[in-house]
Protein backbone atom coordinates (compact mmCIF):
# COMPACT_ATOMS: atom_id res chain seq x y z
CA UNK A 1 0.00 0.00 0.00
CA UNK A 2 2.63 2.45 1.18
CA UNK A 3 4.95 1.30 -1.57
CA UNK A 4 2.18 1.71 -4.14
CA UNK A 5 1.49 5.30 -3.13
CA UNK A 6 5.21 6.05 -3.36
CA UNK A 7 5.19 4.89 -6.95
CA UNK A 8 2.18 7.07 -7.75
CA UNK A 9 4.01 10.01 -6.14
CA UNK A 10 7.05 9.37 -8.25
CA UNK A 11 5.04 8.99 -11.44
CA UNK A 12 3.29 12.29 -10.73
CA UNK A 13 6.60 14.07 -10.31
CA UNK A 14 8.03 12.51 -13.45
CA UNK A 15 4.96 13.50 -15.44
CA UNK A 16 5.23 17.13 -14.36
CA UNK A 17 8.95 17.16 -15.11
CA UNK A 18 8.31 15.75 -18.56
CA UNK A 19 5.67 18.39 -19.31
CA UNK A 20 7.97 21.07 -17.97
CA UNK A 21 10.81 19.81 -20.15
CA UNK A 22 8.60 19.86 -23.23
CA UNK A 23 7.23 23.34 -22.46
CA UNK A 24 10.72 24.67 -21.68
CA UNK A 25 12.12 23.32 -24.91
CA UNK A 26 9.29 25.06 -26.74
CA UNK A 27 9.53 28.45 -25.01
CA UNK A 28 13.30 28.77 -24.64
CA UNK A 29 15.25 29.34 -21.44
CA UNK A 30 14.73 33.12 -21.38
CA UNK A 31 11.11 32.37 -20.49
CA UNK A 32 11.17 28.91 -19.02
CA UNK A 33 14.33 26.94 -18.43
CA UNK A 34 13.95 23.19 -18.74
CA UNK A 35 14.52 20.89 -15.75
CA UNK A 36 17.77 19.72 -17.28
CA UNK A 37 19.03 23.30 -17.58
CA UNK A 38 17.88 24.04 -14.04
CA UNK A 39 19.67 20.99 -12.69
CA UNK A 40 22.84 22.06 -14.42
CA UNK A 41 22.49 25.61 -13.02
CA UNK A 42 21.88 24.18 -9.56
CA UNK A 43 25.07 22.16 -9.66
CA UNK A 44 26.94 25.30 -10.71
CA UNK A 45 25.33 27.44 -8.05
CA UNK A 46 26.11 25.16 -5.14
CA UNK A 47 29.76 25.22 -6.15
CA UNK A 48 30.00 28.95 -5.51
CA UNK A 49 30.99 30.32 -2.13
CA UNK A 50 28.50 33.16 -2.49
CA UNK A 51 25.60 30.74 -2.43
CA UNK A 52 26.60 29.16 0.84
CA UNK A 53 27.45 32.49 2.45
CA UNK A 54 24.06 33.91 1.46
CA UNK A 55 22.26 30.77 2.61
CA UNK A 56 24.02 30.75 5.93
CA UNK A 57 23.33 34.43 6.49
CA UNK A 58 19.66 34.02 5.70
CA UNK A 59 19.19 30.95 7.87
CA UNK A 60 20.74 32.17 11.06
CA UNK A 61 19.00 35.55 10.85
CA UNK A 62 15.70 33.82 10.19
CA UNK A 63 16.24 31.47 13.11
CA UNK A 64 16.43 34.45 15.43
CA UNK A 65 13.00 35.78 14.53
CA UNK A 66 11.58 32.28 14.30
CA UNK A 67 12.83 31.27 17.73
CA UNK A 68 11.47 34.47 19.18
CA UNK A 69 8.09 33.79 17.54
CA UNK A 70 7.98 30.34 19.14
CA UNK A 71 9.17 31.47 22.54
CA UNK A 72 6.55 34.23 22.68
CA UNK A 73 3.84 32.70 20.49
CA UNK A 74 3.51 29.36 22.27
CA UNK A 75 2.86 30.66 25.79
CA UNK A 76 0.74 33.51 24.43
CA UNK A 77 -1.40 31.12 22.38
CA UNK A 78 -1.81 28.75 25.32
CA UNK A 79 -2.79 31.63 27.57
CA UNK A 80 -5.35 32.76 24.98
CA UNK A 81 -6.80 29.28 24.80
CA UNK A 82 -7.12 28.89 28.55
CA UNK A 83 -7.69 32.41 29.89
CA UNK A 84 -10.67 34.26 28.37
CA UNK A 85 -9.37 37.71 29.35
CA UNK A 86 -6.10 37.21 27.49
CA UNK A 87 -8.04 35.97 24.49
CA UNK A 88 -10.33 39.00 24.54
CA UNK A 89 -7.36 41.35 24.58
CA UNK A 90 -5.11 39.68 22.01
CA UNK A 91 -7.57 38.04 19.60
CA UNK A 92 -8.52 41.19 17.62
CA UNK A 93 -4.85 41.99 17.05
CA UNK A 94 -4.06 38.44 16.10
CA UNK A 95 -6.78 38.30 13.47
CA UNK A 96 -5.69 41.67 12.05
CA UNK A 97 -1.96 40.96 11.94
CA UNK A 98 -2.26 37.46 10.56
CA UNK A 99 -3.55 38.75 7.21
CA UNK A 100 -0.63 41.17 6.76
CA UNK A 101 1.98 39.78 4.42
CA UNK A 102 5.67 40.47 4.85
CA UNK A 103 5.77 42.54 1.65
CA UNK A 104 3.23 44.98 3.06
CA UNK A 105 5.20 45.84 6.17
CA UNK A 106 8.79 45.65 4.93
CA UNK A 107 8.93 49.30 3.68
CA UNK A 108 7.61 50.57 6.99
CA UNK A 109 10.03 48.42 8.98
CA UNK A 110 12.96 49.64 6.88
CA UNK A 111 12.04 53.22 7.74
CA UNK A 112 11.68 52.33 11.41
CA UNK A 113 14.62 49.98 11.90
CA UNK A 114 17.03 50.28 9.02
CA UNK A 115 18.31 47.18 7.26
CA UNK A 116 20.16 45.33 9.98
CA UNK A 117 19.52 42.38 12.21
CA UNK A 118 16.75 44.11 14.14
CA UNK A 119 14.84 44.66 10.92
CA UNK A 120 14.97 41.07 9.64
CA UNK A 121 14.28 39.60 13.05
CA UNK A 122 11.30 41.88 13.48
CA UNK A 123 9.84 41.01 10.06
CA UNK A 124 10.19 37.29 10.62
CA UNK A 125 8.79 37.57 14.11
CA UNK A 126 5.78 39.69 13.20
CA UNK A 127 4.80 37.46 10.29
CA UNK A 128 5.39 34.15 12.06
CA UNK A 129 4.18 34.69 15.59
CA UNK A 130 0.47 34.88 14.76
CA UNK A 131 0.42 31.49 13.07
CA UNK A 132 2.02 30.05 16.16
CA UNK A 133 -0.45 31.88 18.38
CA UNK A 134 -3.51 30.74 16.45
CA UNK A 135 -2.36 27.11 16.36
CA UNK A 136 -1.61 27.08 20.07
CA UNK A 137 -4.88 28.79 20.98
CA UNK A 138 -6.81 26.01 19.31
CA UNK A 139 -4.53 23.42 20.90
CA UNK A 140 -5.04 24.82 24.37
CA UNK A 141 -8.79 24.91 23.84
CA UNK A 142 -8.84 21.31 22.81
CA UNK A 143 -7.28 20.05 26.06
CA UNK A 144 -9.86 17.56 27.27
CA UNK A 145 -11.73 18.73 30.38
CA UNK A 146 -12.55 15.08 31.03
CA UNK A 147 -8.90 14.14 31.26
CA UNK A 148 -8.24 17.13 33.50
CA UNK A 149 -11.00 15.78 35.73
CA UNK A 150 -9.47 12.32 35.73
CA UNK A 151 -6.18 13.82 36.89
CA UNK A 152 -8.00 15.81 39.53
CA UNK A 153 -9.79 12.73 40.80
CA UNK A 154 -6.37 11.16 41.32
CA UNK A 155 -5.57 14.22 43.43
CA UNK A 156 -3.19 15.81 40.92
CA UNK A 157 -2.45 19.42 41.91
CA UNK A 158 -2.35 22.37 39.48
CA UNK A 159 1.27 21.80 38.56
CA UNK A 160 0.75 18.06 38.05
CA UNK A 161 -2.29 18.66 35.88
CA UNK A 162 -0.20 21.00 33.77
CA UNK A 163 2.65 18.54 33.53
CA UNK A 164 0.69 15.33 33.08
CA UNK A 165 -2.31 16.52 31.06
CA UNK A 166 -1.97 19.97 29.52
CA UNK A 167 1.64 19.69 28.39
CA UNK A 168 1.33 16.26 26.73
CA UNK A 169 -1.88 17.31 24.96
CA UNK A 170 -0.16 20.44 23.67
CA UNK A 171 2.99 18.67 22.60
CA UNK A 172 1.90 17.53 19.10
CA UNK A 173 0.45 20.97 18.41
CA UNK A 174 3.67 22.67 19.45
CA UNK A 175 5.39 20.58 16.80
CA UNK A 176 2.73 21.54 14.24
CA UNK A 177 3.05 25.22 15.16
CA UNK A 178 6.81 24.93 14.75
CA UNK A 179 6.37 23.44 11.30
CA UNK A 180 3.77 25.93 10.09
CA UNK A 181 5.78 28.77 11.61
CA UNK A 182 8.97 27.69 9.91
CA UNK A 183 7.46 27.93 6.44
CA UNK A 184 6.13 31.40 7.14
CA UNK A 185 9.41 32.49 8.72
CA UNK A 186 11.33 31.36 5.67
CA UNK A 187 9.01 33.20 3.32
CA UNK A 188 9.13 36.37 5.38
CA UNK A 189 12.92 36.25 5.53
CA UNK A 190 13.25 35.86 1.76
CA UNK A 191 10.83 38.70 1.14
CA UNK A 192 12.72 40.97 3.53
CA UNK A 193 16.05 40.11 1.92
CA UNK A 194 14.71 40.75 -1.56
CA UNK A 195 13.67 44.25 -0.52
CA UNK A 196 17.12 45.09 0.82
CA UNK A 197 18.93 42.99 -1.79
CA UNK A 198 20.96 41.08 0.73
CA UNK A 199 21.69 37.44 1.42
CA UNK A 200 19.63 34.80 -0.36
CA UNK A 201 17.00 37.32 -1.39
CA UNK A 202 19.78 39.35 -3.00
CA UNK A 203 20.89 36.30 -4.98
CA UNK A 204 17.31 35.83 -6.17
CA UNK A 205 17.19 39.47 -7.27
CA UNK A 206 20.43 39.10 -9.20
CA UNK A 207 19.34 35.86 -10.80
CA UNK A 208 16.15 37.55 -11.90
CA UNK A 209 18.21 39.90 -14.04
CA UNK A 210 19.98 37.07 -15.83
CA UNK A 211 19.07 36.40 -19.44
CA UNK A 212 18.34 32.76 -18.69
CA UNK A 213 15.76 31.77 -16.12
CA UNK A 214 17.79 28.69 -15.20
CA UNK A 215 19.80 30.26 -12.31
CA UNK A 216 16.62 31.72 -10.81
CA UNK A 217 14.87 28.37 -10.96
CA UNK A 218 17.94 26.74 -9.46
CA UNK A 219 17.76 29.05 -6.45
CA UNK A 220 14.05 28.44 -6.05
CA UNK A 221 14.61 24.70 -6.18
CA UNK A 222 17.38 25.04 -3.60
CA UNK A 223 14.98 26.97 -1.40
CA UNK A 224 12.32 24.28 -1.75
CA UNK A 225 14.82 21.59 -0.84
CA UNK A 226 15.85 23.53 2.27
CA UNK A 227 12.27 24.13 3.31
CA UNK A 228 11.23 20.52 2.78
CA UNK A 229 14.23 19.11 4.61
CA UNK A 230 13.72 21.43 7.56
CA UNK A 231 10.03 20.61 7.91
CA UNK A 232 10.80 16.92 7.48
CA UNK A 233 13.34 17.16 10.27
CA UNK A 234 10.70 18.76 12.48
CA UNK A 235 8.21 16.08 11.52
CA UNK A 236 10.73 13.42 12.42
CA UNK A 237 11.34 15.02 15.80
CA UNK A 238 7.58 15.21 16.37
CA UNK A 239 7.16 11.51 15.68
CA UNK A 240 10.05 10.54 17.87
CA UNK A 241 8.87 12.66 20.77
CA UNK A 242 5.11 11.94 20.51
CA UNK A 243 4.83 8.44 19.06
CA UNK A 244 1.30 8.05 20.41
CA UNK A 245 0.11 10.95 18.27
CA UNK A 246 1.84 9.77 15.11
CA UNK A 247 0.49 6.29 15.66
CA UNK A 248 -3.04 7.51 16.35
CA UNK A 249 -3.27 9.75 13.33
CA UNK A 250 -1.69 7.07 11.17
CA UNK A 251 0.82 9.68 10.03
CA UNK A 252 4.39 8.46 9.70
Partner 1 sequence: MAHLSVSHVSKSFGGVQVLVDQCLDVREGEFVALLGPSGCGKSTLLQIINGLVPADGGKIVLGGKDITGKTGTGRGMVFQGADLFPWRTALENIAFGLEVVGVGKAERLERARHYLNLVGLRGFEDSWPHQLSGGMQQRVGIARAFCIQPTLLMMDEPFGALDVQTRDVLQDELVRIWEAEPKTVLFVTHGIEEALYLADRILVYSKRPARVLREITVPFARPRREDIKLDPQFLELRRDISDLLRHDLYA
Binding site for partner 1 (CB under 8 A): 146-147, 149-156, 160, 164-165, 168-169, 171, 242-245, 247-248
Q: How far is the CB of 42 from partner 1 (least distance, A)?
A: 42
CB of 240 to partner 1, least distance (A): 14
Residue closer to partner 1, measured from CB, 113 or 156 = 156
On whether the CB atoms of residues 62 and 189 are closer than 8 A, the answer is yes
Cα 137 vs. chain centroid, distance in angstroms? 18
Least separation in angstroms between CB 215 and partner 1? 48
Phi-psi region of 32 (alpha: psi -120 to 50; beta: other; left: phi over 0): beta
Separation of CA 97 from chain center: 17
Neighbours of 47 (CB within 10 A): 9
Nearest to partner 1 of 116, 243 (CB atom): 243
* Shortest reach from residue 153's CB to partner 1, in Å: 5
Residues sharing a CB contact under 8 Å with residue 127, sequence separation 6 or more, in sequence order: 100, 101, 102, 105, 184, 185, 187, 188
Comparing CB distances to partner 1, the nearer of 101 and 160 is 160
* 9 vs 149, beta carbon nearer partner 1: 149
Least distance between partner 1 and beta carbon 51 (Å): 42
- Nearest distance from residue 129's CB to partner 1, in Å? 27
Instruction: Between 115 and 171, name the residue whose CB sits nearer to partner 1.
Output: 171
Residue 152 CB, shortest distance to partner 1, in Å, is 5
201 contacts 194 by C-beta, under 8 angstroms:
yes
Between 48 and 247, name the residue whose CB sits nearer to partner 1.
247
For partner 1, which is the closer residue by CB, 43 or 237? 237
C-alpha separations of 225 from 42, 51, 230 in Å: 12, 14, 8
CA distances for 188 relative to 14, 44, 96, 181, angstroms: 30, 26, 17, 10
Are 181 and 73 within 8 A, CB to CB? Answer: yes
Instruction: Please report how many Cα atoms fall inside a 13 Å half-sphere around the Cα of residue 197, on the Cβ side.
Output: 5
Amino acid sequence: MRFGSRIVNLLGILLVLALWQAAGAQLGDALLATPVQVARALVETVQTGAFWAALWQMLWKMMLGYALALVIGIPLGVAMGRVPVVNAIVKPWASMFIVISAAAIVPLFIILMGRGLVFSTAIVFVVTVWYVVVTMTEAARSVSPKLLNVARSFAANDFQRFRYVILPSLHPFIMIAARVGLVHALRAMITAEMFISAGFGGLLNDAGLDLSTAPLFALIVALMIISVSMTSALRWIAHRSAPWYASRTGDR
